């Protein structure tokens, strides 16, 4: 850069003190030299690369973000619907709430460890079954979400779009997802198993009886798992060009790069 400015300054000074015909000659030399210098400049190449990106509208960016979130549902959330999708995925596995951890310990202390294991597993089974039934809910949420400031979200953190989705849809999704979880409890037998567990625990002398709201707890934990898996795919698309499988994703996330 310093050399380039020295050359420009050099030709500028010559221009001041030379006759007109010399001025024309040096003007041509200056233009040729400037072209050579600029064509080798990395900054110029970056500007050239960004020219088509400047034409990307907020609507295009919003569409790209929605597509990234939908990819998260297609590629990552569907994994949760498989058997052990929650139970054997440490990122989203549903553990016991604080109130039930003492229940778990008490059952194991009196030799009912297998029942405690089954109770934990069925909580995760209910979530797996519920997500399978509720996937259209998440697809609808993504399609209807409005990105008011899409560019800032695009240029934000690796999970910025997922965070935006969560903040804008979690309450509504909870209302739709909760009855699905409740039905899943019945379908996979979670309600009966936990009724048995809690009844046995409550018969232990000197323990404080419990009656937890498992539907609320599992609903919230299942939703956290969904958002976690969507965020994984969003990060993949943001950090790996090979994960941008459509023209729109390539166009939009190139701007982020």
Domain termination site, one of 31, 50, 69: 50
CB atoms within 10 A of CB 114: 10
Q: Could you tell me if 16 and 140 lie in one domain?
A: no
| 225 and 99 share one domain | yes
pLDDT confidence of residue 46: 52
Q: What is the mean pLDDT of each run of 10 residues along the chain (257 residues)?
A: 41 42 41 45 45 70 96 95 96 93 91 92 95 92 92 94 93 92 93 91 88 92 96 96 95 92
| Same domain flag for 74 and 40 | no
Look at residue 14 in the predicted model and tell me its pLDDT. Answer: 41
Predicted local confidence at residue 179, as pLDDT: 95
- Do 84 and 122 sit in the same domain of this protein? yes
pLDDT of residue 208: 86
Task: Say if residue 86 is in the same domain as residue 133.
Answer: yes
Q: Are residues 170 and 208 in the same domain?
A: yes
Domain count for the chain: 2
Task: Please indicate, yes or no, whether residues 80 and 161 belong to a single structural domain of this protein.
Answer: yes
pLDDT of residue 17: 39
- For every residue of 40-102, which 3-state class applies, written as one string? CCHHHHHHHHHCHHHHCCHHHHHHHHHHHHHHHHHHHHHHHCCCCCCCCCCCCCCCCCHHHHH
Question: Which residues constitute the domain of residue 11?
Answer: 2-50
Q: Are residues 156 and 228 in the same domain?
A: yes
Q: Do residues 125 and 34 both lie within one domain?
A: no
Are 77 and 204 part of one and the same domain?
Answer: yes
Query: For residues 65, 87, 214 and 224, what is the CA-based torsion angle, rounded to 10 degrees?
Result: -20
Q: Are residues 81 and 19 in the same domain?
A: no
For the purposes of burial, counting CB atoms within 10 Å of the CB of 136, is it exposed (0-12), middle (13-18) or buried (19 or more)?
exposed
Residue 211: per-residue pLDDT: 84
**Residue 240: what pLDDT?**
95
Of 50, 69, 89, the residue at which a domain comes to its end is 50
pTM of the model: 0.75
Q: Is residue 28 domain-shared with residue 61, that is, in the same domain?
A: no
């Amino acid at each position: 850069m310093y050399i380039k400015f020295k050359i420009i300054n050099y030709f500028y000074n010559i221009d001041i003190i030379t006759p007109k015909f010399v001025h024309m000659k040096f003007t041509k030399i200056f233009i040729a030299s400037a072209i050579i210098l600029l064509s080798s400049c990395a900054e110029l190449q970056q500007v050239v690369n960004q020219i088509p990106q400047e034409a990307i509208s907020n609507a295009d960016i919003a569409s790209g973000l929605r597509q990234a979130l939908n990819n998260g549902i297609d590629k990552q959330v569907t994994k949760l619907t498989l058997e052990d999708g929650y139970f054997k995925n440490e990122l989203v596995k549903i553990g016991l709430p604080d109130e039930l951890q003492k229940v778990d310990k008490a059952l194991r202390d009196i030799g009912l460890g297998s029942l405690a294991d089954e109770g934990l597993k069925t909580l995760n089974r209910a979530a797996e079954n519920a997500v399978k039934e509720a996937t259209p809910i998440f697809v609808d949420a993504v399609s209807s979400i409005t990105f008011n400031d899409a560019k800032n979200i695009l240029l934000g953190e690796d999970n910025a779009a997922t965070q935006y989705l969560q903040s804008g849809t979690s309450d509504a999704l909870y209302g739709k997802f909760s009855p699905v979880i409740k039905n899943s409890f019945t379908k996979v037998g979670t309600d009966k198993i936990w009724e048995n567990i809690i009844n046995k625990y409550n018969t232990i002398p000197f323990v404080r009886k419990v009656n937890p709201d498992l539907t609320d707890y599992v609903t919230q934990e299942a939703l956290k798992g969904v958002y976690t898996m969507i965020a994984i795919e969003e990060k993949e698309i943001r950090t790996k060009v090979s994960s941008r499988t459509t023209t729109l994703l390539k166009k939009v996330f190139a701007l982020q790069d």
